[in-house]
Chain A
């Protein structure tokens, strides 16, 4: 138990998730030229943003998973010494992702696609180099 505590000493693990992930399986139902924005919202919820592009209206769905870990080598010293300086290694990875749908003037799907998908980062990874 003591060894485990010493191994964990100075560890700080943070994670922030924003919105639900939209998977390719969830958008299998979309038929270009047939599916409307209303049907899209009925299946995967309302988009986070609706905007206009040169090709027509665009609906954007955002989600992200931020993982951050830090290891403070000064933490153990603080148990025994009146002062122990902070010596921290820290790494943060933010993976914002998007699902984009372009509509024709009748708000029927013209095209859709996912943003570049990031590789899945480990939750604990504090080596910054």
Chain B
């Protein structure tokens, strides 16, 4: 004896051919589609970044606002905190004979430059991940 829900589904498809056509068409069009997303780190909170004030915010305050840096770099005799976030979007179409796979990865970076007293001297922030796209077509720019 068939499962009652399965039997009901078969009845719906049988008596509502339009629904059946739409379901079959959707399944045909979507078969072989793969959508993947990968991230590294945490996205930046804009309020936390703008709360860093040049000449007043200390190293400890930066850590409490944003967290420990991903890297600490030394440049021109200054300590630099580097925070980063990566976002990758990858759609793919894996058909019987033809495969298209594309991935777009972009990064956000935040640098806080400290003077010798541990006070923020410069903040450099750039956000690119807002432009990451699920673009399947592999040709063109």
Contact = CB atoms under 8 A, between A and B. Distances in A.
Interface of A: 5, 8-20, 37-38, 41, 45-52, 56-58, 67, 75-76, 79, 103-105, 107, 123
Contacts, number: 98
Nearest to B100: A13
Given A17-B105, A104-B76, 13 more contacts: A15-B101, A15-B103, A19-B106, A37-B122, A45-B128, A46-B124, A46-B125, A48-B109, A49-B82, A50-B75, A76-B97, A79-B96, A79-B97
Contact of A52 (B75, B128, B139): B75
Contacts of A105: 76-77
Contacts of B126: 41, 45-47
Contacts of B97: 5, 8-11, 75-76, 79
14 contacts: A11-B97, A12-B101, A14-B103, A15-B102, A15-B138, A16-B105, A18-B105, A19-B107, A38-B124, A46-B111, A47-B111, A48-B84, A79-B97, A104-B76
A48 B83 CA distance: 10
B107 A48 contact: yes
Contacts of B96: 79
B76 A14 contact: no
Contacts of A51: 73, 75
A41 B105 contact: no
A20 B106 contact: yes
A79 B101 CA distance: 22
Contacts of A48: 84, 107, 109
B64 interface: no
Contact of B82 (A9, A16, A50, A104): A50
